[in-house]
Amino acid sequence: MVSIKRRLVQLAAAFAFNSHVAGFFRGTIYRGNLKQVCLPVLNCYSCPGAIGSCPVGSLQAVASLSTFYFSFYVTGFLALVGVFTGRLACGWLCPFGLIQELLYRIPSPKYLLPDWTRFVKYFILVIPVLLLPPMFAGDINPGTPFFCKWLCPAGTLEAAIPLSVTNSGIRGALGWLFTWRISWLAAILIFVILIKRGFCLVLCPLGAFYSLFNGISFLKISRDPERCNTCGKCAVICPLRLPERTMNHPECTRCLKCVHNCPTGALKWRLQITEGCASVHVKN
Ligand code: SF4
Ligand code: SF4
């Protein structure tokens, strides 16, 4: 039941974040006032349907200006989302997370990655997203948003491909960068068919940022040690194969499958402000 509920929310969010449908037919992007609003998920600014801004793109856009370097608005907004919900947005709202889950349903051999690979995304957050854009910003020309330009599969899938199909000007300007982006996208799509949420686990800079808050967020999964009989069902049912009894692991996207399948009801989804204070049990 929670899987159906979550899928409906994911679909509704993907549509809501990309509801400028006319843009797909006209080959243009929406530039109205809503575009100043930062979304809590990876959703390309240049997607013809996007009505808000991608936080990763916004961080780089500000960092590439010679005058600013750092966006307090975007960082503060993401920190607020992280402090309240951890990686909930990854599991319930992110369109690229949804795409990965659908691709993973394609029948193929499935694999697990060694634990160290998840640290790659922190490197991506720090180097191409936060450090390289300001380093290459000139006094007149802004620097390059390195992650958007070279590494973002969502940008290619949601923006570069639809715009190149419907906009002849963009199509005419395609060059070797587009070839690289298509090849990289193809590699990522194969990767996520074989590895559940492979991009989120290994490469996404936004997932890296939110993962820092998973253990301390107000909304979290709590385990009652008196009820838990250590049967390990939570680890078996976890789509990301996270270890049992480490609720709120940095990679947990809050799908809540463990909570709903715990045979003793030891797991609860709670709003807990501080350790030891009264907490509110969220109806699952
Ligand atoms: S290219 Fe990727 S990171 Fe950049 S704005 Fe688009 S979705 Fe965001
Ligand atoms: S980690 Fe995955 S779900 Fe979270 S923002 Fe990145 S792509 Fe989306």
The pLDDT score that the predictor gives to residue 140 is: 58
Q: pTM of whole model > 0.85?
A: yes
CA of 42 from ligand 2 middle (Å) equals 6
| CA pair distance 49, 196, nearest whole angstrom | 26
Q: Ligand 2 in contact with 207 (CB < 6 A)?
A: yes
The pLDDT score that the predictor gives to residue 2 is: 74
Phi, psi angles (nearest 5°) of residue 251? -90, -5
The pLDDT score that the predictor gives to residue 138 is: 65
**Angle 58-60-185 (CA atoms, 0-180°, nearest 5)?**
90
Alpha-carbon distances of 61 from 49, 201, 250, rounded to whole Å: 20, 24, 27
Closest ligand 2 atom number to CA of residue 41: 5
- Ligand 2, atom 2, lies closest to the CA of 200
The pLDDT score that the predictor gives to residue 275 is: 56
CA of 161 from ligand 1 middle (Å) equals 13
Determine contact, residues 68/61, Cβ cutoff 8 Å. Answer: no
Write out residues in the chain with pLDDT < 50, as ranges: none
pLDDT tens digit sequence for 118-168: 999 999 999 999 988 888 776 656 678 999 999 999 999 999 999 999 988
| CA pair distance 118, 251, nearest whole angstrom | 8
DSSP letter, residue 268: E
92 token code pair: 């319930």
The pLDDT score that the predictor gives to residue 141 is: 63
Closest ligand 1 atom number to CA of residue 46: 6
The pLDDT score that the predictor gives to residue 134 is: 81
Q: Ligand 1 in contact with 74 (CB < 6 A)?
A: no
**Closest ligand by atom to 208 CA:** 2
33 token code pair: 């006032």
